[in-house]
Amino acid sequence: MNAFDAECEPGLRLDGGPSGDAAYGRVAPVGVDTRHGVILYLEDITVRFDGFTALNRLSLDIGVGELRCIIGPNGAGKTTMMDVISGKTRPTAGSAFFGQNINLAVLGEAEIAHAGIGRKFQRPTVFENHTVVENLELAMKTDKRVKPTLFSKLSGAQADAIGATLELIRLTHEAWRPAGLLSHGQKQWLEIGMLLMQEPQLLLLDEPVAGMTDAETERTGELLNELRGRHSLMVVEHDMDFVASIAGQGKVTVLHEGSVLAEGTMSEVQADPRVIEVYLGR
């Protein structure tokens, strides 16, 4: 029994259900065709704002279960790329597909979130007056037209999913605290947990460790390493030590002036003279 079980309110039973791992997350998407092992295809994406080219024929693929780090100087187009993937910005040209079958360019933001792409912005946006558990409950994937989620009785599977997520985001001992009392780092983890309650196949994280203490940054690295393989992740970050800690031998993509400048392992891109010139050497 964990601390969350011990402090559990009536109606939030965690015993007798599937194990935490079984209750949590999934990589094999339902409805998204990833038979070729690719969760995201961007091909020749161009975005122009009033004549200014923010993305310039950008092409990028992300594999199922991959954790891809995206780096690049200010103005390289990283946020604009995430805006295209999440439906906030329509590409001027090019194609964006979620798996092989879901054309992101014709869907709105809500439809894309519903299809399985979760996005976390830099600033945490949790419900400060609600407890950590209530925040996770509110975020849970349910049909909100049928019943209000807050304070409704949770099924065993739902309580299991909350318990597993609390452990994953290191907030089991804070489960019943109002979110407003959490540290900045804990709020960021809670927001990641809220995204996970939606069971996304692809998670987009924009500068997840900005403003965190060193200890929080280290724990966030551990958290993202645990998510790798269970979800596909795209992480935009400027903190190079952090990128090195989560990239492992995986691919890092360097954007510059709206295009992919280089792609390879962290040590490969760090040794690339073009990357040193436009970004790392600054």
- Residues numbered 79 to 98 that lie near ligand ATP (CB under 6 A) are 79-80
**Residue 52 binds ligand ATP (CB under 6 A):** yes
Distance from C-alpha of 153 to C-alpha of 159, rounded to nearest angstrom: 9
* Contacting range for ligand ATP; rule: CB under 6 A; set: 3-11, 30-38, 73-81, 104-112: 73-81
Which stretch, 20-28, 49-57, 147-155, 176-184, contacts ligand ATP (CB under 6 A)? 49-57
CA distances from 181 to 104, 112, 127, 129, 178 (A): 37, 32, 11, 9, 6
Q: Does 176 help bind ligand ATP (rule: CB under 6 A)?
A: no
Helix (H, G, I), strand (E, B) or coil at 128: coil
* Least distance (Å) between residue 80 CB and ligand ATP: 3
Total residues interacting with ligand ATP, rule: CB under 6 A: 11
Site stretch for ligand ATP (CB under 6 A), options 12-20, 67-75, 141-149, 269-277: 67-75
Is residue 168 within 8 A of residue 226, CB to CB? The reply is yes
Distance CA 275, CA 261 (A): 7
Nearer to ligand ATP, 80 or 220 (CB): 80
In the complex, the smallest distance separating the C-beta of residue 3 from ligand ATP, rounded to whole angstroms, is 38
Q: How far is the CB of 189 from ligand ATP (least distance, A)?
A: 22
Nearest in space to 250 (alpha carbons), one of 237, 235, 261, 266: 266
Torsion of CA 66, 100, 28, 142, to 10 degrees: 110
- Give the shortest CB-98-to-ligand ATP separation in angstroms: 20
For ligand ATP, the closer of residues 76 and 102 by Cβ is 76
3-state helix, strand and coil shares in percent for the chain, rounded to the nearest 5: 35, 25, 40
Residue 216: CB minimum distance to ligand ATP, A: 21
Asked whether 160 and 18 are in contact (CB, 8 A), the reply is yes
| Binding flag, residue 78, ligand ATP (CB under 6 A) | yes
d(Cα 102, Cα 99) in Å, to the nearest integer? 6
Residue 257: CB minimum distance to ligand ATP, A: 9
With respect to ligand ATP, which residue has the nearer C-beta, 34 or 259? 259
Indicate the Cα dihedral angle 238, 242, 244, 245, nearest 10°.
-160
Residues that bind ligand ATP (CB under 6 A): 49, 52, 54, 72, 74-80
